A and B are shown apart, each in its own frame.
Chain A
């Protein structure tokens, strides 16, 4: 496990995630009311990048077939996806948001 930089805190906008690629794994990092949350950027239904989906109220919708995931827990909330997405720990270090992988 290691911490990877995502972006500085002030680069984040509400409902607009930042994506980092750690090795093979693309990770989407969202700013919500109570902090930063990181999930795998790849939908568990087929293949689409969740960071390109609509997000609101702590949920993100897949842009391809509208499966819905909880950004805090990674939980799959609506069909057609049934498998949760992975979540990753985040922290803020000297103004930089980081994700642990």
Chain B
């Protein structure tokens, strides 16, 4: 049985901040399957059903309307929700967040030529919304606390490149710009920053996601910014598993990590399904995610954390590979711009985990595939 509190048939989220906002009603990338497709797999799909409580001792969950659903194995795959603005104005109809298809359709309903839109947060979702809104003719201002965009997941030179795309589209980027207050006026929202006030028609708050861990927490399942899970998705409680973005997964390094990516939602549950059937199939995929902004595709593989030196290879057509090398000369991460062809060769080079001389990494005559074989 698959229980979810949304009323839409299950879908992939990436198009929500891209094609949907550009006006496509049913983009192919939503991958929405029919009721029949679930029935054919003998999946009893219960939409619009919120699970209010979990009783691990009795091994059942309780829906909001009081129905009890017993289980032998329970997978908690509750994902995350958009972090909201910690101000009373968060409930104003002109202050939006983006997580669900319903949110995306609501946001799209507002976008029009000349709309003054502020986007708070220059992470992936904020920037994708800014790009889509600018293409729809909105006057977009992005407000970001850090001194550069996507500061959490790319090095500064890549941030600078992404910033240039937005500036070219007349998006106002206000970096190092904390939002002090937002006030409702009759015909606009007034956003106070340290230097001035900005008047806008609409504010999209894109300041991160909060994992939906409450069910687990209330039952005493170990939670720490995500439900703690081993490599196979087992939680601290027997018969309870955590899948996808809500899981904080044990890494080979011994640390736990939570991933906000399509990849973890697509592939980690395969390990969970194996574990339920008593088969160990650890989820060890190299982290990978992408963002599409304007005509550009950015792919990020590996862990771009601190302590890496970044080398760049770029060809005449502007296809870029930024290579994150650790102090031992091992490739740990890579960022590819409009260069998806190199994802697999670089993933293999990272997995090989051996030092590579920097002249070879930078030698444009050597393909990454050749480097791996060599």
Contact = CB atoms under 8 A, between A and B. Distances in A.
A54 B342 contact: yes
Contacts of B292: 64
Nearest to B29: A46
Contacts of B288: 66
Nearest to B24: A46
B163 interface: no
B130 to A, nearest CB: 20
Contacts of B369: 56
A44 B197 CA distance: 46
B372 to A, nearest CB: 11
Contacts of B19: 46
Contacts of B217: none
A64 B343 contact: no
Contact of B341 (A54, A65, A79, A82): A54
A45 B292 CA distance: 14
Interface in B287-341: 288, 290, 292, 297, 339-341
Contacts of B7: none
Given A79-B266, A80-B266, A61 B31 contact: no
A46 B340 contact: no
What is the predominant secondary structure among interface residues of chain A facing chain B? loop
Contacts of A26: none
Given A45-B29, A64-B297, A82-B31, A54 B266 contact: no
B266 to A, nearest CB: 6
Closest 8 pairs (CB-CB, A-B): A63-B340, A46-B29, A54-B341, A54-B344, A63-B341, A64-B297, A79-B266, A53-B341
Interface in A57-80: 61-66, 79-80
Interface residues of A, number: 17
B12 interface: yes
A5 interface: no
A67 to B, nearest CB: 10
B105 to A, nearest CB: 19
A71 B268 CA distance: 27
B345 interface: yes
Contacts of B27: 46
Contacts of B31: 80, 82
Interface string A1-44: 00000000000000000000000000000000000000000001
Interface in B325-374: 339-345, 369
A52 interface: yes
Contacts of B345: 54
Contacts of A63: 297, 339-341, 343
